[in-house]
Chains A and B, each alone.
Chain A
Amino acid sequence: MPTLYVLITFSICWIFIESTFLISNKLVIENHSNYSNDTFLNSFRLLALFLLIGTIIFMSNLQSEFDFQKYYFVCPL
């Protein structure tokens, strides 16, 4: 069940990210960057997919091993 919720959440967020890129492309007047948008976007999508799969595998197998929520002492920076 958690995986289904996570996949729905990921899809909604990804729509937001792709829309952000579409809007930003329309707003850019001059682009000095050496990297084309397509090159960046493709690597970016691949990384996101890799991270999603990794997270699902990790959380599905390891969440029962330790109380992630209790000990995950978040230090933002």
Chain B
Amino acid sequence: MVLIGGSGCLFISFGIRHSFGMYLIPVSNYLEVGRETFGLAMAIQVLLIGMGSPIFGALSDKYGSGKAALLGVILVMLGLTWMSNINNSFDLIGSLALMGIGGAGCGTAVVLGAVGRSVKKENRTLFLGVVMAAGSLGQFVMVPVVTYLIQISSWADSLVNLIIIASIMLVFSFILSFSGKSESSKEGTDQSIKESIKEAFSSKSYNLLTIGFFVCGFHVTFVATHLPAFLEDQSLPSWLGGWSLALVGLFNIIGTLLFGRLGDRLSKKNLLAVLYSLRSVLFLLFIILPKNELSVLLFASFLGILWLSTVPLTSGIISDVFGSYYMSTLYGITFFSHQIGSFLGSWLGGRIFDFYGSYNAMWWICVALGFISAMFHIAIIEKPVERLSKKELSYQNE
């Protein structure tokens, strides 16, 4: 049940957020402002999703995932309503910011925490991968739906349709309130949120994991934002940019499930180290090899496999090491680091291009960061903290 609720929630929330690019031109034209305003509003939204995640994570751990998700859905719906009635730049930035805060409520921190608490430890990473794959699928299919809605009506009317689609999440957030029934979810019940955060930050492994996740955000947002422009600079066929993004989306779903499954069978931290190393090797090959149709499509596909596969593994390590009781809060903090990486990846990519006239330096930074992150993950100790080990021992003695 919780798996369906979580998958549905992420499918719609990721899908809606992902399709905002379709509003860039009509909204900018309507407000008679440059595209920078829309870009700024989107950047603020990305940061607010990151900032909101630990807060909604804590709300979820304290009051229940269903209630936290419900609040998030309501904020998203209010944001969409506001956006459909905008008159100036303030309205645009305000509405997208509100949706960012709401998006954190019905996003990964709350949903992954709910799923992590509800499933058995043996299959946890696979199920975390399944809900992430549903989110990836939502990103993939909502864009044509929104395009169609804008084409048959106007951009403002299509937002009203999006409110109706978002309202379906109310049902899914209700389903999420059934989370936290598995035995493993009881681990950590004697702790307060403050104590759990303190415990996490005093752990070297949690800090390394959080810094490592920053690199994930840096990589994916740089590539997602700047790859189409990079391909255009290479004078490659015009169909290649669209197909590259489509293959990233397709293999993202496959990769998330693949690594979710592997995470239940092999060491998650080693898988993450391999994953970040593979990203670096991929970037390196992309820099060195000649760019043609096949090499670009292969780059996009392999990158898709390694795209969001980090999420089930990272969240899986958090629940394995600290228990799943405060998983939403702890994952929310880690996710905030991811979003800072996202912001920097996007901004620095543009800044470096403006300064040097090419993305070369940025690709090399990506290669270096990938290997550094891999080393950080190797150093992680993937064992339950002492508190949980003692508890397990006392269960065995009983």
Contact = CB atoms under 8 A, between A and B. Distances in A.
Interface string B10-53: 00001001111110110000000000000000100010010000
Q: Which secondary structure characterizes the binding site on chain B?
A: helix
A32 to B, nearest CB: 4
A5 B239 CA distance: 12
Interface string A41-77: 0001001100110010011001101111111111111
Given A8-B294, A71-B22, A24 B302 contact: no
A28 B266 contact: yes
B246 A68 contact: yes
Contacts of B19: 73
A13 B251 contact: yes
Interface string B226-243: 001001000000111111
Nearest to B305: A13
Interface string A6-23: 101110110011001000
A20 B217 CA distance: 24
Contacts of A51: 250, 253-254
B265 A34 contact: no
Given A51-B253, A68-B242, A34 B224 contact: no
B242 A74 contact: no
A6 B49 CA distance: 34
B254 A33 contact: no
A77 B246 contact: no
A76 B249 CA distance: 10
Contact of B18 (A20, A47, A73): A73
Interface in B323-360: 335, 338-339, 342
Given A59-B242, A63-B239, A71 B123 contact: no
B338 A58 contact: no
Nearest to A40: B261
Interface in B237-274: 238-243, 245-247, 249-251, 253-254, 257-258, 261-262, 264-266
A40 B20 CA distance: 34
**Range of interface residues on B (Cβ < 8 Å):** 35 or more
Nearest to B219: A76
A77 B308 contact: yes
Contacts, number: 145
Nearest to A69: B241
A72 to B, nearest CB: 5
B170 to A, nearest CB: 22
A5 B297 contact: yes
Interface string B290-302: 0001100110011
Contact of B250 (A12, A44, A52, A73): A52
B331 to A, nearest CB: 12
Given A20-B262, A51-B254, A77 B239 contact: no
B126 interface: yes
B38 to A, nearest CB: 9
A65 B258 CA distance: 33
Contacts of A70: 228
Given A51-B250, A77-B335, A44 B257 contact: yes
Given A51-B253, A59-B246, A76-B220, A13 B293 contact: no
Contacts of B122: 32-34
B254 A48 contact: yes
Contacts of A55: 246-247, 249-250
Contact of B262 (A6, A16, A24, A75): A24
B241 to A, nearest CB: 3
Given A52-B250, A76-B220, A33 B342 contact: no
A33 B122 CA distance: 5
B223 to A, nearest CB: 8
B258 A20 contact: yes
Contacts of A48: 254
B225 interface: yes
Given A66-B147, A77-B338, A34 B301 contact: no
Given A40-B126, A44-B258, A75-B224, 6 more contacts: A9-B301, A16-B302, A24-B262, A71-B143, A75-B17, A77-B339
Nearest 4 CB-CB pairings of A with B: A73-B21, A74-B224, A69-B241, A68-B242
14 contacts: A13-B298, A17-B305, A35-B123, A35-B126, A44-B254, A44-B257, A44-B258, A62-B144, A66-B147, A71-B147, A73-B22, A74-B245, A76-B307, A77-B311
